[in-house]
Amino acid sequence: MNLRSPAFAILFSVSLIAAAGNMALQSVLPAIGREFRLSDTLVAGAFAISALMWTVASPFWARLSDRLGRKRVIMIGLSGFVLSMTGFGLAATSGLEHWLGAGLAFTLMAVARTIYGVFGSAAPIASQAYVADRTTPEQRTQAMSLLASAQGLGTVIGPALAPFFVLPLIGLAGPMYAFALFGVVVLIVVWRRLPSGEVVRIPSSSGRHDTVGKGLWKDPRVSAYLLYGLLITGAQAINISVLGFHIIDELAVTGIAARDAQPFIGIAMLAGAAATLMVQWGLIPLLKMQPADLMRWGAGLALVGNLMSIASPGYYGVVVGYAVVSMGIGFARPGFTAGSSLSVGRHEQGAIAGLMMSLAGLSFLGPPVIGVALYEWSEPAPFVANALMLAAAAALCLVNARLRIGPPDLPDRDETPSPETPPASQPGPEGNR
C-alpha cells in the first residue's frame, strides 16, 4: 500500500476522528463530573463498563473483519461512534440544564459510552488489518507508526478544539455534538471512497469453523508483546484519567474554578499530543528505529515522565511531565504493535489486530479507576504506581529474548499481494460459519 494513497488517507481519518472525539470527551469529563458533584473515582468507575465491552468485543470484530470484510466493519465502528457521541451529548445536556437529575443523566452518559465500548473497537481493528493486508514486512513498521500517529494527531485536535465547542446553549456537551457530526462526514467518505469489493466466501475443506487466531494471546511469538503492551497502556490510561482532575486541583489553589479550567486541560493535552507527534512523525522515521528500540525508549521515557510528575508539582510540572510520558508512549505503541504484527503470518493479521485492540479495552478497565482512587488518597500515588509498571516494562525488554532481539527477519517471505488477491476488505477464504 502506498502510504500517500487516498485509501491510506481515509484509514488515517478514521483513526483520527475516533481519537479526537474520545480525547475531547476525556478533556471535559472531569469538569462535568465536578459540575454533577460526583466522586472522581465514581466518574472513572462508571466508564469501566465501556472498557470491559471494548475488551470483550474486540476479538469478535477482528474475526468478523476477516469474514465480512474490512470496509464494512469500519463502517459499523464509525456508526457506533456517532451514536455514542450523540447520546453522550444529549445525556450531558440533560444533566447540566437540570432537565434530569445528575444521577440519571450520568447513568445515561455511561450507557452511551457502553455503546461505544461495544462498537468502538471495530473501526481501528479493521483499519489496522486493512493496512497489514496491503503492506510487506519491510513496510509495516512505518505504516503502523503512521497509522498510530493518527491517534496522536487526534489527541491534538480533540482537546484543542473542545473549548471552542463549549458554547452558551450547549455548554460542556458541545464537543460531543461536534465530533458526532465529524464522524458522520468520515462515515460517508468511507462508504463512498474506500476501495472495496464483494466478499468471497469459500468453505473450508474440513467443513469446520475457521480457528485462526484462537489462543493467539498465549502464543510465545506474541505473549511478551502483549504483556509489555498491557503495562504501557495501563500506565497511559492512568495518566490520562488523572490529568484533568490533577489540573483542576492545581488551578483551584490559584482560585480558578473547575468550569474555567477547560482551556488549561486542553493545553496540557495539546502538549502531550505534540510530543507524541514529534516522536512518530519526526524521530521514528528519521532514526529508522525498529520495534525493539522503540519499546525500550518508550518505556524509559514514560518512566521518566511519571517521576517528573512526582518531583515537580504545580500546573507547569503537570504539563511537562505529561508531555514526557506522551513521548514515551509515542515510541512504545508502534513498537509493540508492529513487533507483534511482524511476528505472525498474513492469515493471522486480523486476530493480532483484535488482540491489540483488546489491550486498549483492558487498559481502561481497571487502571483508570485504581489510578483516580489512588489520586484521591494521595496526589503522588498514581504516578508511583505508574513508575513501578513502567520499570517492569523496561525490564521485560531486557530480559525477554523476543523483545530484546525484536521480531524475526523473514527476508524470504514476500507478503506483497498478487494480482489475484482479493481487496483488503475481502481477505479471502474464511471457512464455514
Give the tens place of pLDDT for each residue, 48-107. Answer: 777 788 778 877 887 888 788 888 899 999 999 999 999 999 999 999 888 999 889 989
End-to-end alpha-carbon separation of the chain, Å? 30
Residue 161, pLDDT score: 84
Mean residue pLDDT across the chain: 80
Give the tens place of pLDDT for each residue, 220-242. Answer: 777 888 889 889 989 988 998 89
Q: Which residues lie closer than 8 Å to 13 by C-beta, 6 or more apart?
A: 150, 186, 189
Indicate the pLDDT class of residue 3, thresholds 50, 70 and 90: low
Residue 189, pLDDT score: 93
Cα angle: 327, vertex 18, 187; to 5 degrees: 145
Inform me whether the pLDDT recorded for 392 exceeds 70: yes
Indicate the pLDDT class of residue 154, thresholds 50, 70 and 90: confident
CB burial of residue 45 (10 Å; 0-12, 13-18, 19+): middle
pTM for the structure as a whole? 0.70
Inform me whether the pLDDT recorded for 420 exceeds 50: no
Give the tens place of pLDDT for each residue, 339-359. Answer: 787 777 666 766 776 677 667
Inform me whether the pLDDT recorded for 203 exceeds 70: no
CB atoms within 10 A of CB 136: 13
Residue 152, pLDDT score: 63
Indicate the pLDDT class of residue 214, thresholds 50, 70 and 90: low
Distance CA 126, CA 134 (A): 12
Indicate the pLDDT class of residue 197, thresholds 50, 70 and 90: very low
Phi, psi of 226 (to 5 degrees): -65, -40
